[in-house]
Copies of this chain bind each other. A is one copy, B any other.
Amino acid sequence: MLSILDLRARIEAGTLTPSGAIDLCRAAIAAREPELRTLVTLDDNPTIPESGPLAGIAVGVKDIIDSAGLPTQMGSALYAGWRPRGDASVVARLKGLGAVALAKTTTTAFASSDPTETVNPHDPGHTPGGSSAGSAAAVGAGLLPLALGTQTAGSVIRPASYCGCAAVKPSFRLIPTVGVKTYSWALDTVGLFAAGVADVAHALALVTGRPEIERAEAGSAPRIGLVRQDFAEAPEPEAEAALARARQAAERSGAQVTDVTLPPELALAWERHRIIQNYEGRLALAWEYESHRDALPPRVREHLDAGAAIAAAEYDDARRHAHRARRVLKGLFAEYDAILTFSAPGPAPATLASTGDPRFNQLWTLMGVPCVNVPVPGERLPVGVQVIGRFGDDGRALAVARMIEDALRG
């Protein structure tokens, strides 16, 4: 994989130019993109800034995120060739830092769950996950050092786990979603994919203008709550093994790891994630659903049909459950510095007909708390674990994730 920190160190040292760093991506894309199909469009002649803290860093932009220079097509024929006037907030910010929006990456239609053409870089018979399929696969395959995704249920953390890269789904709205096609305004969160946890922390600190995110430390004996999410169907053995290895790695580093059963309010919120997602999706995609329902692929259509059947009172009730659960979770974070849990039910499923299951992600998206995928090395197909922090304390979550990543490598 291409590490942001490594590329930037070489550029700072004068052994690599920003253009040279972009050429590394072009070469990797030329070699593997025909097989992997991670990109929708590639900018053949981008402006490459010579300076800026992210000069030389090529970014893949999920194709539901507006970009002024390249079409934004939502993974849907309804938006074929569509060009927004300007960049999404996060894209403008990245360009302002010197990064190059080199490519648009594949997305399931409207970031729902109809598979893309992208394959898993570790085995082309396996899904890369979704909805941020192209971003996860392009970073996991070493085509790009940085990519943008979005998560409404598990669309950042799950594909990162499947594709073997690091990723952060930050605290809700830490990165603005302005210029991002909305599915659920209460859930949609912009996230970042990069080679390692230190890379995503560096990028997040720069994108948000919050250097403390990168400077945060895990402390000498962080208190980690190990959460199995028993309300969800049990995971596969590979996910269990990855979690056990991550726990041991954390303990080797001095962490106090305690098994925690989440209070019932959290299970009740977990059950209701889909109500909020589908109800809001039906409203957010009102034009697409009402004017072009037949042009929608089957899964997003099915989700929106489900959304149309949800009464406002049921949605309001789900929002109240989520609100209560956030308060309970806040209390839990008085006792723990981070939560450690599964990133996905197992390695990427051996199919291209599904993007996998977000059941270990959806609660945390609904809670709005920062989530980090830490790749666990060693298996043929990647499996990650998820480190979760208190709302607004993205730096701590990333620091604990870095500690575990270091211990797993060591």
Contacts and interface: CB of A to CB of B under 8 A. Distances in A.
Interface of A: 68, 78-79, 82, 85-89, 91-93, 95-96, 173, 176-179, 182, 185-186, 208-210, 280, 283-284, 286-288, 290-291, 312, 316, 392
A210 B179 CA distance: 29
Nearest to A209: B312
B86 A291 contact: yes
A215 to B, nearest CB: 14
Contacts of A95: 290
Number of copies of chain A assembled together: 2
Given A86-B288, A86-B291, A176-B286, 5 more contacts: A87-B291, A89-B283, A93-B283, A176-B182, A316-B392
B79 A284 contact: no
A286 B208 contact: no
Contacts of A68: 287, 291
A210 B82 contact: no
**Residue among A93, A178, A312 facing the most chain B CB atoms (10 A cut-off):** A178
B78 A210 contact: no
A208 B86 CA distance: 30
A173 B185 CA distance: 9
Contacts of A79: 85
A3 to B, nearest CB: 26
B290 A92 contact: yes
A160 to B, nearest CB: 25
Contacts of A78: 85-86
Contacts of A208: 312
A89 B176 contact: no
A359 to B, nearest CB: 26
Contact of A286 (B92, B182, B185, B312): B92
**Residue among A79, A86, A93, A209 facing the most chain B CB atoms (10 A cut-off):** A86
B182 A178 contact: yes
Contact of A290 (B96, B178, B186): B96
11 contacts: A78-B85, A89-B284, A89-B286, A93-B283, A95-B290, A176-B182, A176-B280, A176-B283, A176-B284, A178-B185, A178-B284
Contacts of A284: 89, 176, 178
A302 to B, nearest CB: 20
A83 to B, nearest CB: 10
Contacts of A179: 287
Nearest to A176: B283
Contacts of A96: 286, 290
A308 B351 CA distance: 47
